């Protein structure tokens, strides 16, 4: 692996290509979010979800028919993991007893049916949660931006924010594109992606700041290249370990955590890409110059002298 | 000298690690499934009864681990989770109604660990199965109820002073009484405002249509709502305790919601009936023929809607005055509820019945329910669900008052022994100060819980293994340091969660897995920096030193921002998101400690202040 650290990849030279790739992904994602729409989970829409385990493999159509005949509308019946495990969703929830009604209905033909879980979410709760979650995302982005602006400089904050938005939009876009269910745990994963991608971005920024201060050249793209190359092996190592554990989680963690792991995996891959390309390269159009960092230069000199 | 820690730093790290180890250890001893047997009257149970239960359990092939007694309560620890429900039913059958049998999870922490008051993490519902309810308290109804009570008291006051009034109406936050003349109204206003200072008074209309309007002040409204929530919390706790569930949780969430979690409960129907029951009783006199219509209302019987009776609007007492209640059978074998009233309730009842011997008194059963209706907007076609609360009232008995009643009496007219038992339970645990509605419900079967634990643990193990291998291959000796730090990080994370009493959920396990992946980040940063400094020609000692120092700001900045996000997650999140945020935040803090201090200590001990020729990194 050693050669990796001696590589001198001209990242900035290819930044236009990266911008085009990102722009394409963003357009597809936004298009998917607008036209396909998110497959929002029960947490956000309200409704009823019942997961049951049959003794023998049942016929999905028969179950659907049975439920529709009994007056349930908008019923979705699908297998969940094993073929004997059935997930039933009913959008319109009139009261909290629907879950029990469904189970007794399915048991009526003498099938052996065990309730694995049942969830009922009132419509009001769903609305409330949707508002709260959107707000939470905005607050998270805002606070993080303030911190970066305080520790670095506002141009860095802007670059970090754009990179984060990029990551979040693409993860949400993939969920919209493939109609994966977007529930509370996925939201948690997206917030974790924000934290993670930011982590990466900050490490790169920290190095850019250091290189600007120590190097004598004024050519920003060259400085960025040096900084990104210096942190490249670290970025790939950390992403590598995280991707490894996420794969373990995805493959072994079970169905309830599947979408969570998918969201994080996409987020980390995109986040790694954006911390190398987007957040650094964005500083060029933002016209970051050495002067932007000079006021803080004194501070580092002191720090270095103080080393015990 | 470079790369040496003072002794106190090593000691500090050692102390932290030992403490962490002690507090994380209890998690290796999972709690035993158990049933808890106690005497219904609170006396201590006979040992012979317990041995009868033991025999019955052995007969049914249920493995018993241990039987213990503390303060008259017996705990029977079982071998397997699957037997728990059967064991409870068997024990309940053997002991009959003398004893209360409840499911429990018995702590299996060894005594020497308990001495440090170390205990394992609580498992969330998704890991052990159970029911989760989110209840919404109907605040409007709380206000209306309070206004009705006040209206009833005002009417009594006016009658006592012989002031004629016509009608009382209640509208959201205000109460208005109409009078036949402005003079009557003014006298009434003077009298009422003396006794009820919480209202804002205003006059409306004049002459024959004089109204006195009384509006609750904002502060009083807040007080009433707070009272309603707190009273409901207390009542729900009492009810949940009566259900005999191990470690139930009843908690306020937001301004008007209550979360109830019942681990291990599978029968949601029964649980919901008890938790959500809004049943209450009212005792009222039957109207006399000459009572004015404005003071009476006609109500039907609960089990026979064709019969009805004309009752006074005024309530003598409600179920809130009941201090204790139990169910039994009367001489004819019909179910009955024996009621004891508290002091004030007894006085009120005595005063009302003493002067009304020969009249009929009705017991009214009141239940708040709600119905959801879908309304479709004709223009947009959007569906909105509208919840309409309604109140069901029915007479359960109408009996002649033979003599003045005191503190204790009984009521009959109930449909079944179950109904009598539930009514007694509800009266004992108190009524809800405001009606509640279920807005969310989750039931997780025990098999899913066990599966989640198993899969979660497996993914933690595999994830850990992969990271360990990766670090070993990439950083060799330093990889060993990082791996030891990673193991200690996991120990500390579990220890801190156990100490804080945090609940471990499935997303929490995901948080642990993610933390493991990210925890090595700090070490990766440091090690890469050391390598780089070595390439730049620094001496080995200097490179180690510079690696740690220069990576420090990156590590702190990166972790603080992630921590900020985790804290926001925690504050906006509910349920699963919160569990994830907790583990993530704690994981960030512990990983900084292990990655910065612990690996440094190991590096210093190995390489510090000695001549080193080559660094295996």
User: Model confidence over A117-171: pLDDT tens digits?
Assistant: 887 777 667 777 778 778 888 888 888 888 888 888 888 899 888 999 999 999 9
CATH number at residue B413: 3.30.1360.200
Residue of A nearest to B445 (CA): A116
B111 CB contacts (<8 Å, ≥6 apart)?
A: none
Check which CATH number belongs to the domain holding B479 and give it.
Answer: 1.20.1640.10
B291 or A262, which is more confident?
A262
- Do B602 and B459 share a structural domain? yes
- Helices A220-252, B506-535: inter-axial angle, 10-degree rounding: 140
pTM summary value: 0.74
| Mean of pLDDT over chain A | 81
> How far apart are alpha carbons B39 and B43 in whole angstroms?
6
CA angle, residues A45, A47, A49, in degrees to nearest 5: 115
Neighbours of B171 (CB within 10 A): 11
Separation CA B525–CA B595 (nearest Å): 10
Task: Report chain B's mean pLDDT, rounded to a whole number.
Answer: 82
Domain annotation covers residue B421: yes
The C-alpha atoms of residue A46 and residue B407 are separated, in whole angstroms, by 48
Contacts of B174 (CB under 8 A, 6+ apart): B147, B213, B214, B215, B216
Q: Which of B549, B565, B577 has the CB atom closest to A184's CB atom?
A: B577
Burial class (CB in 10 A: 0-12, 13-18, 19+), B112: exposed
Indicate whether B215 belongs to any domain: yes
Same domain for B414 and B313: yes
Q: How far apart are CA A144 and CA A129, in angstroms?
A: 22
Burial B44-69 (b: 16+ CB within 10 A, else e): ebeeebbeebbebbeeeebebeebee
DSSP strand pairing (A39-40 vs B436-444): unpaired
How far A295 CA lies from chain B's nearest CA (Å)? Answer: 18
Task: Evaluate whether residue B123 is within a structural domain.
Answer: no
Asked whether the predicted pLDDT for residue B380 surpasses 70, the reply is no
The reply to whether domains A9-38+128-297 and A47-121 share a CATH topology is no
Nearest CA in chain A to B557: A202
Kindly state the DSSP code that residue A278 receives in the 8-state scheme. Answer: I
Task: Let me know if residue B234 belongs to a domain.
Answer: no
Check residue A304 and give its pLDDT: 43
Is the pLDDT at B273 greater than 60, yes or no? yes
Which parts of B79-157 are beta strand (E)? 99-106, 122-123, 130-137
Assigned domain for B498 exists: yes
Answer whether residue B255 is part of any domain: no
Go through chain A and tell me how many residues it has.
308
- A171-185, A215-229, B42-56, B376-390, range with the lowest pLDDT: B376-390
Q: Which residues contact A293 (CB under 8 A, 6 or more apart)?
A: A153, A209, A212, A213
Cα distance between residue B217 and residue B198, in whole Å: 7
Helix (H), strand (E) counts: chain A: 12, 6
Residue B127 to residue B582: CA distance in whole angstroms: 17
Cβ <8 Å between A187 and B577: yes
Give per-residue pLDDT as tens, B505-520: 888 888 887 788 778 8
Residue among B268, B455, B517 whose CB faces A242 most closely? B517
Residues B301 and B421 in one domain: yes
**Same domain, residue pair B509 and B548:** yes
CB contact under 8 A, B445 and A257: no
Torsion of CA B332, B337, B338, B344, to 10 degrees: -140
This complex has an ipTM of 0.80
**Residue A203 with chain B: CB contacts under 8 Å:** 525, 554, 558
Beta strands in B174-216 (DSSP E): 174-179, 199-204, 210-216
Give me the half-sphere count of Cα atoms (radius 13 Å) on the Cβ side of residue B553. 14
Question: Of the candidates B200, B221, B242, which is a domain's last residue?
Answer: B221
Q: A257 and B510 in contact by Cβ < 8 A?
A: yes
* Rounded distance between C-alpha atoms, residue A14 and residue A162, angstroms: 19
**What is the structure's pLDDT at A300?**
47
- Would you place residue B590 in the very low, low, confident or very high pLDDT band (cuts 50, 70, 90)? very high
Q: How far apart are CA B590 and CA B497, in angstroms?
A: 11
Closest Cα in chain A, distance from residue B547 (Å): 12
- The continuous run of DSSP H or E covering B414 comes out as none
Whether B304 and B423 map to the same domain: the answer is yes
Contact B169, B176 (CB under 8 A): yes
Q: Is B584 on the interface with A (CB under 8 A)?
A: yes
Structural domain boundaries enclosing B145: 139-221
Alpha-carbon distances of A214 from A294, B241, B277, rounded to whole Å: 12, 67, 72
> Of the candidates B419, B442, B465, which is a domain's last residue?
B442
Nearest C-alpha neighbor of A98 from the set A72, A61, A124, A68: A72
Same domain, yes or no: B22 and B37: no
Buried residues in B24-33 as b, exposed as e (16+ CB within 10 A): bbbbeeebbb
Distance of CA B510 to the CA centre of its chain: 24
> Do residue B300 and residue B413 come from a single domain?
yes
Distance CA B216, CA B505 (A): 44
How far is B274 from B262, CA to CA, in rounded Å? 12
Task: Parse chain A into domains and list their residue ranges.
Answer: 9-38+128-297, 47-121
Please tell me whether residues B397 and B452 are part of one structural domain: no
Handedness of CA B13, B19, B25, B31 (dihedral sign): negative
Cα gap B320→B316, rounded to integer Å: 12
Q: For position A301, what pLDDT does the model report?
A: 46
Split at pLDDT 50, 70, 90, the class of B473 is very high
Residue-wise pLDDT tens digits, B518-551: 788 889 989 989 998 998 888 888 899 999 998 8
Could you tell me if B72 lies within 8 Å of chain A, comparing CB atoms? no
CB proximity B406 to A under 8 Å: no
The superfamily CATH assigns to domain A9-38+128-297 is Multidrug efflux transporter AcrB transmembrane domain (1.20.1640.10)
Give pLDDT, residue B381. 63
Of B82, B106, B130, which residue constitutes the final position of a domain?
B106
Rounded to an integer, the average pLDDT of B275-282 is 77
Give how far A133 is from chain B: nearest CA, Å.
Answer: 7
Kindly report the CATH class assigned to A47-121: alpha beta
Above 80 in pLDDT, residue B461? yes
By the CB < 8 Å criterion, does B291 face chain A? no
In terms of domains, do B353 and B432 share one? yes
- Same domain as B603, residue B461: yes
Residues of B in contact with A252 (CB under 8 A): 455, 458-459, 462
Task: Name which of A147, A233, A260 is nearest B564 (Cβ-Cβ).
Answer: A147
* Structural domains of chain B, count: 4
Does residue B194 fall inside a structural domain? yes
- Between positions 428 and 467 of B, the ones with CB within 8 A of A are 437-445, 447-448, 451-452, 455-456, 458-459, 462-464, 466-467
Interface contact flag, A203 B462, Cβ < 8 Å: no
Q: Tell me, yes or no, whether B578 and B502 share the same domain.
A: yes
SS3 A287: coil
Is B350 within 8 Å of chain A by CB?
Answer: no
State the pLDDT at residue A1. 43
Q: What is the mean pLDDT of residues B287-295?
A: 81
On whether both B208 and B292 belong to a single domain, the answer is no
Residue A233 pLDDT greater than 70, yes or no = yes
3-state secondary structure of B538: coil
Q: Tell whether B134 is within 8 A of chain A (Cβ).
A: yes
**b/e string for B196-232 if b means 16 or more Cβ within 10 A?**
eeebeeeeeeeeeebbbbbbbeeebbeebbeebbebb
User: What CATH number has the domain bearing residue B154?
Assistant: 3.30.1240
* Interchain CB contact of B524 with A (< 8 Å): yes
Q: What's the CA gap between B502 and B414, in Å, rounded? A: 45
């Amino acid at each position: 692996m050693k050669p990796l650290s001696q590589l001198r990849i001209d990242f900035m030279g290819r930044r236009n290509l990266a911008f085009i790739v990102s722009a394409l992904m963003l357009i597809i994602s936004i298009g998917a979010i607008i036209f396909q729409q998110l497959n929002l989970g029960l947490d956000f829409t309200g409704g009823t979800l019942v997961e049951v385990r049959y003794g023998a493999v049942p016929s999905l159509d028969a179950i659907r028919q049975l439920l529709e005949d009994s007056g349930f509308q908008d019923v979705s019946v699908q297998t969940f993991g094993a073929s004997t495990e059935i997930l039933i969703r009913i959008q319109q929830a009139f009261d909290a007893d629907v879950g029990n009604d469904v189970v007794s209905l399915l048991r009526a033909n003498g099938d052996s049916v065990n309730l694995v879980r049942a969830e009922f979410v009132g419509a009001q709760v769903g609305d409330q949660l949707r508002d709260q979650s959107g707000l939470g995302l905005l607050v998270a982005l805002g606070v993080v931006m303030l911190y970066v602006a305080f520790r670095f400089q506002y141009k860095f904050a802007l670059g970090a924010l754009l990179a984060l938005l990029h990551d979040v939009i693409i993860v949400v876009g993939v969920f919209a594109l493939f109609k994966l269910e977007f529930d509370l745990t996925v939201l948690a994963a997206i917030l974790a992606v924000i934290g993670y991608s930011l982590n990466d971005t900050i490490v790169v920024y920290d190095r850019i700041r250091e290189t600007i201060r120590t190097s004598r050249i004024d050519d920003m793209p060259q400085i960025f290249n040096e900084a990104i190359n210096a942190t490249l092996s670290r970025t790939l190592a950390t992403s590598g370990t995280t991707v490894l554990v996420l794969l373990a989680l995805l493959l072994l963690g079970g169905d309830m955590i599947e979408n969570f792991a998918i969201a994080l995996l996409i987020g980390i891959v995109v986040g790694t890409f954006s911390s190398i390309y987007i957040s650094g390269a964005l500083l060029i159009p933002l016209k970051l110059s050495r002067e932007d960092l000079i006021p803080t230069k004194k501070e580092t000199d002191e720090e270095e002298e103080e080393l015990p | 000298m470079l790369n040496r820690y003072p002794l106190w730093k090593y000691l500090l790290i050692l102390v932290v690690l030992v403490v962490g180890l002690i507090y994380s250890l209890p998690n290796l001893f999972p709690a035993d499934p158990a049933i808890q047997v106690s005497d219904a009257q609170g006396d201590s149970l006979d040992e012979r009864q317990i041995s009868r239960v033991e025999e019955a359990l052995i007969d049914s092939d249920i493995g018993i681990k241990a039987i213990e007694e503390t303060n008259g309560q017996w705990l029977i620890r079982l071998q397997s989770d699957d037997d728990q429900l059967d064991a409870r039913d068997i024990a309940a059958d053997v002991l009959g109604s003398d004893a209360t049998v409840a499911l429990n999870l018995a702590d299996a922490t060894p005594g020497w660990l308990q001495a440090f008051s170390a205990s394992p993490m609580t498992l969330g519902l998704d890991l052990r199965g159970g029911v989760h309810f989110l209840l919404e308290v109907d605040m409007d109804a709380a206000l209306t109820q309070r206004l009705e009570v006040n209206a009833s008291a005002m009417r009594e006051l006016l009658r006592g002073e012989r002031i004629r009034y016509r009608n009382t109406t209640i509208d959201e936050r205000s109460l208005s009484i109409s009078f036949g003349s402005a003079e009557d109204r003014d006298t009434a206003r003077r009298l009422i405002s003396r006794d009820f200072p919480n209202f804002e008074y205003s006059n409306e209309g004049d002459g024959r249509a004089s109204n006195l309007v009384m509006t609750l002040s904002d502060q009083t409204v807040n007080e009433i709502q707070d009272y309603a929530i707190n009273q409901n919390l207390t009542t729900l706790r009492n009810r949940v305790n009566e259900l005999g569930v191990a470690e139930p949780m009843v908690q306020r969430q937001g301004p008007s919601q209550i979360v109830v979690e019942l681990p291990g409960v599978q029968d949601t129907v029964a649980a919901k009936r008890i938790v959500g029951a809004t049943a209450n009783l009212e005792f009222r006199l039957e109207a006399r023929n000459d009572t004015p219509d404005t003071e009476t209302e006609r109500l039907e019987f609960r089990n026979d809607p064709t019969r009805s009776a004309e009752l006074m609007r005024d309530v003598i007492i409600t179920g809130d005055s009941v201090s204790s209640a139990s169910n039994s059978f009367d001489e004819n074998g019909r179910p009955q509820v024996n009621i004891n009233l508290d002091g004030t309730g007894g006085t009120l009842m005595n005063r009302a019945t003493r002067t009304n011997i020969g009249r009929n008194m009705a017991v009214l059963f009141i239940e708040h329910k709600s119905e959801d209706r879908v309304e479709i907007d004709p223009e947009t076609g959007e569906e909105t669900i509208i919840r309409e609360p309604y109140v069901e009232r029915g007479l359960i008995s109408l009996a002649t008052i033979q003599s003045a009643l005191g503190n204790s009496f009984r009521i009959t007219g109930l449909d079944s022994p179950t109904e009598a038992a539930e009514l007694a339970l509800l009266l004992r645990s108190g009524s809800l100060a405001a009606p509640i509605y279920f807005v969310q419900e989750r039931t997780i079967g025990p098999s899913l819980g066990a599966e989640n634990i198993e899969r979660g643990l497996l993914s933690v193990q595999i994830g850990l293994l992969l990271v360990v291998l990766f670090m070993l291959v990439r950083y060799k000796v330093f990889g060993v340091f990082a791996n030891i730090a990673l193991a200690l990080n996991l120990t500390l994370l579990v220890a801190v969660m156990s100490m804080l009493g945090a609940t471990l959920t499935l997303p929490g396990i995901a948080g642990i897995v993610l933390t493991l992946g990210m925890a090595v980040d700090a070490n990766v940063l440091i090690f890469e920096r050391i390598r780089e400094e070595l390439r730049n020609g620094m001496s080995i000692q200097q490179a180690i030193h510079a690696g740690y120092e220069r990576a420090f700001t990156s590590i702190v900045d990166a972790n603080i921002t992630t921590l900020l996000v985790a804290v926001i997650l925690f504050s906006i999140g509910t349920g699963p998101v919160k569990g994830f945020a907790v583990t993530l935040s704690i994981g960030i803090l512990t990983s900084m400690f292990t990655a910065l201090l612990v690996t440094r200590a190991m590096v210093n001990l190995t390489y510090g202040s000695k001549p080193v020729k080559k660094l295996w990194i």
